[in-house]
Amino acid sequence: MVSIHPVSDLHSLLALEKVKPDAFLGGGPVLGWGRLYGGQVVAQALRAACLTVDPPHRPQSLHAYFVRAGDEHQPVLYELERVRDSGSFATRQVVAYQAGGAILNMIASFHAPEGGTEIEAVVAPDDVPEPEALPDEPTNLLFERRSVAWRVDPEPYELAWMRARGDLGDDPALHACAFAYLSDEFPLGAALGAHPLVPDWERVFTASLDHAIWFHRDVRADDWLLFELRGGGVADARGLGTARIFDRSGRHVASIAQEALARERRR
């Protein structure tokens, strides 16, 4: 493991080191992939932004572009610009750097909670097995996942439970960052599920291009969350995946969108 400090869980992954005003350093576990898991960079970029925003503001949304693949053997430097602060909203731009240059560019918005009308217009899927009734799917990432359903006809569709490993406490900003870590696991598969070459991973090169999250309600990332994902087809070597996320009580807590690239590998 090469890191500024040992990383064994999401608490340590999100414990960034301040190196100067509005600049933070983050590390992660070496998984043997060569590249960084995209969810790590999004989560740490959001965490860096959170560290410059005063309560009661909480993450409202983020929009991130993956500029190039990160190297899991190098730490990541997150540099921030304080775009705007107001009583209701705050905006931050974060650029993640490694030795080769920028690897991620993200803008994040924060909102102070407001009272008012609340309408549940999105309904969670019916008759979904509880996560405890499903087999665990081993992963060396810092979460648990359990699949419920997957199909590609008539459209790519996936249903799965996920949660962060370990107790994350009660800080809503930390849970939002941990959710950002989880959020990069499934969308690429949904985005490219209709591509005829995607099941043959040796023949196709894939990459996440951009990633967006909207936080509708407070989310607990260390409790089971239900991800309902759909793919929108593929054109110009790109596919779009969207997801609605529900907590165990059926509340719609967040939404995700990700565009992904798929190219046939040249021999």
Q: Which residues are catalytic?
A: 184, 208, 258
| Distance separating alpha carbons of residues 170 and 143, to the nearest angstrom | 18
Which tokens belong to 102?
């920028």
* Dist. CA 251–CA 120, nearest whole Å: 8
**Beta carbons of 110 and 59 less than 8 angstroms apart:** yes
Alpha carbons 218 and 113: distance in angstroms, whole number: 10
Here the tokens at position 170 are 């009660």
Using DSSP bridges, classify how beta strands 204-215 and 157-164 pair: parallel, antiparallel or unpaired.
Answer: unpaired
- Distance between CA 226 and CA 210 in Å, rounded? 22
- For residues 72 and 19, the answer to whether their CB atoms sit within 8 Å is no
Give yes or no for a contact between 74 and 98, defined as CB atoms under 8 angstroms apart.
yes
